[in-house]
Chain A
Amino acid sequence: MDIRTVVTAILLAVGCFLMVVACIGMVRFPDFYARCHPSGKGDTLGQMLVLVGLIIYEGFSLVSVKLLIIIAFIWIANPTATHWVMKAAYTAGLKPWQKSQSS
């Protein structure tokens, strides 16, 4: 097996694992604000790892440069989108969940 394939496989696996953890976090966390944490962070690094894996598999070409541009876009767009969704909730007056309220 080619070393490049191995590295790609590892990166894809770790990336997919992070996305799965982000999904579990979305289900398990108690309220809207806490659920934004996994979607904002897990997806950013998960997608980056998957795309970096594909870049390594592809080698240096036009396609890999395009993938790099997608990574840069996701890095800017994902935190910004998370921030705006949370700002909307905060402006609408949604109260954050507090530990003391839980049974």
Chain B
Amino acid sequence: MSFLLTAIVMFSFWILLSGHFDPLLITLGIISSLLVAHWSHDLFLNEKEIGPGFRKAVRCIKYLPWLVWQITLANLHLIYLTLHPKMPIEPRVIRFTTELKTGFGIVALANSITLTPGTVTIKGSREEFIVHAITQAAARSLLSGEMQGRVKEVEGRDV
């Protein structure tokens, strides 16, 4: 199962990147994607995780619009801070602990923090997050924990 899925993903990626449809090249593409799948399918997909992984991907796609909106807000905020003559910033370093357990959840939260208004992740691990916030409001909105809740939803319970 994971072998077949890997081969299909590899071949579609090959088609996308090459854009050639000659029979010879297609054959070579099929052979190379089968070889790659044969050698590395157990690295690419874990047999047990295909079902939950698929559901997780669906939840990620649901999470994306909110993230795009937050990034837009972050950039408006950044434009305001940068072009304001007095530059109203009050940088501070904040620490908080997280309830996320999986590596995927930690990475998603760390990257989301970096992309949302006024905060950048300095250090992220299961024990502790260290975040640099550029204004007090940004620090407060991060500590309210809304984003953690959303990432937790993406992470799901079936892990």
- Chain A's interface size range is 35 or more
Residues of B within 8 A of A5 (CB): none
Is B120 part of the binding interface, using a Cβ–Cβ cutoff of 8 Å? yes
Residues of B within 8 A of A24 (CB): 82-83
Q: Which stretch in B3-11, B33-41, B88-96, B147-155 binds the other chain?
A: B88-96
- Contacting A at CB under 8 A, from B94-150, are 110-111, 114-115, 118, 120-124, 130, 132, 134
By a beta-carbon cutoff of 8 Å, the part of chain A in contact with chain B is: 18, 21-22, 24-25, 28-31, 33-34, 36-38, 40-42, 44-46, 62, 65-66, 69, 75-76, 79-80, 82-83, 86-87, 90, 96-99
A62-B16 contact, Cβ under 8 Å, with A76-B111, A86-B120, A99-B89? yes
Q: Does A40 contact B120, Cβ atoms closer than 8 Å?
A: yes
A99 contact from B71, B91, B121, Cβ within 8 A: B91
Residues of A within 8 A of B124 (CB): 83
Q: How far is the CB of B43 from chain A (nearest CB, A)?
A: 18
